[in-house]
Structure 1
């Protein structure tokens, strides 16, 4: 198909070329030879009357014009996918849609285990891929490479729809044999204890460390840093350490491990968990159905807490 003498199939190649900035990797993704991919780049350069990608040392870099093209090209491809390739009517029982989600192991434990179970009963052929949060999570959603992100409020992306799912409190958790604290906790005790915490990404972003520094001017004494929330309570057993973690996850583990849950010595702001998706998926019927299922399950899980 051509539009204004441009083969629209070339837009797919342009999108990949601008992302990879490497002929070899782009050729692999496009399932083409390197010479054919170089030929495609030549046709794109002719049409746009711009080099698009130029060799700088051992790397290829996009020209200023190519940088301006990147987002519009990606948006066009996403709109085509959502409006043309998506069927207006669908049957969840027979759908074979594959969804990619960015979410933490904490949310898998307290929410998505129930989501997967319910959806399997109604749509057994739908498949899921869960990606952990990372430094490039927002970029994946903006590029349409993931369907949903479930993240705290501070990670909301402008110009893309979002929906509040629930609010979460933080609690302190210690091993039941911890002799440093009883049933209450002072700030002095809290700061004197060794802490177990979670860090994400290459920059090792700590879950609530920034808030402590901004609020009190000091940070906790971190003795163990793990890479997921589910190991926090396990790493407390047999130690005198403490962890500050999500209330729902703490209560879940307290049913199975010798743990004590204590209120924090200071009031930690409530965390608001949001569901985000790309704006081009807003009216996709299957995507909308999944969001509705997640919302319904949240409401059902929240009812015992409100009782």
Structure 2
């Protein structure tokens, strides 16, 4: 969202934006037009409202750089033995995307901490031998600011696809069409850099 904020500021510095955390009422808020947009996995799109693809990403593992229990790579057996930190972003998500994928593959992790968001999830591995599984592009950003190391996930988790959704009643609102174009333009730039080209491990 940082790139979106910069572009909006440059184009219209007096525009005010409110960014809300995910909660348990996202479905109702969208239905009632209480929010202008929702950024949401395409597996959780809400029926009856338009949407647009933003970008796709892959998953990697994140660990504290100082951990002596976690090296430059990790086996599936070790991955399942370690304590995990995951994020819960409101009931609309329910079980996280990666957790659902792992369960479908027959794997069960030992989740020891549930964080309220991805930033907290990354910070909470610091000083521990726990591990987190998150979107690769986000992990790369966190690794620039926190003492983290990134590792290839030992199991293939399907790509994660993020979408933008908005109330059908707002579809032709000129101001929101303008903002939607900015969001999708920024996302297209992100999507043009394949996650596979980012250095991990």
TM-score where L is the length of structure 2: 0.89
Aligned twin of 1:145: 34
Aligned twin of 1:211: 101
Counterpart among 159, 162, 167 of residue 270 in structure 1? 159
The runs of at least 4 consecutive aligned structure 1 residues that moved more than 6 Å come to none
Count of equivalent residues? 195
In the TM superposition, what is the alpha-carbon distance from 1:305 to its structure 2 partner? 4.9
Range that drifts further, 254-263 or 202-211: 202-211
**1:99-114 correspondence runs (5 A):** 112-114=1-3
Aligned twin of 2:176: 287
The 1:212–1:305 alpha-carbon spacing in structure 2 relative to 1, beyond 3 Å, is closer
CA contact (8 A) 1:161 1:277 kept: yes
CA contact (8 A) 1:198 1:206 kept: no
The answer on 1:298 being equivalent to 2:187 is: yes
CA contact (8 A) 2:54 2:191 kept: no
In the TM superposition, what is the alpha-carbon distance from 1:265 to its structure 2 partner? 0.6
In the TM superposition, what is the alpha-carbon distance from 1:301 to its structure 2 partner? 3.8
Aligned twin of 1:94: none
SS in 2 for 1:269: coil
SS in 1 for 2:14: coil
In the TM superposition, what is the alpha-carbon distance from 1:182 to its structure 2 partner? 2.2
Q: Which runs of 5+ in 2 are unaligned?
A: none
SS in 2 for 1:255: helix
Aligned twin of 2:15: 126
SS in 2 for 1:128: coil
Structure whose residues are more often helix by fraction: 1
Range that drifts further, 130-139 or 296-305: 296-305
CA contact (8 A) 2:26 2:92 kept: no
CA contact (8 A) 1:197 1:224 kept: yes
Higher relative contact order (CA 8 A, sep 6+): 2
SS in 2 for 1:249: helix
**Higher alpha-carbon Rg:** 1
Partner Cα separation in structure 2 for residue 304 and residue 169 of structure 1 = 12
**Residues 241-263 of structure 1: CA distance to partner in whole angstroms, max 9, x if unpaired?**
10001111110111122211011
In the TM superposition, what is the alpha-carbon distance from 1:279 to its structure 2 partner? 1.2
Range that drifts further, 205-214 or 287-296: 205-214
Counterpart among 109, 128, 149 of residue 239 in structure 1? 128
In the TM superposition, what is the alpha-carbon distance from 1:231 to its structure 2 partner? 1.2
The 1:220–1:161 alpha-carbon spacing in structure 2 relative to 1, beyond 3 Å, is same
CA contact (8 A) 1:197 1:206 kept: no
**1:176-187 correspondence runs (5 A):** 176-187=65-76
Partner Cα separation in structure 1 for residue 109 and residue 130 of structure 2 = 12
The answer on 1:198 being equivalent to 2:119 is: no
TM-score where L is the length of structure 1: 0.60
Counterpart among 34, 43, 55 of residue 154 in structure 1? 43
Partner Cα separation in structure 2 for residue 190 and residue 157 of structure 1 = 34
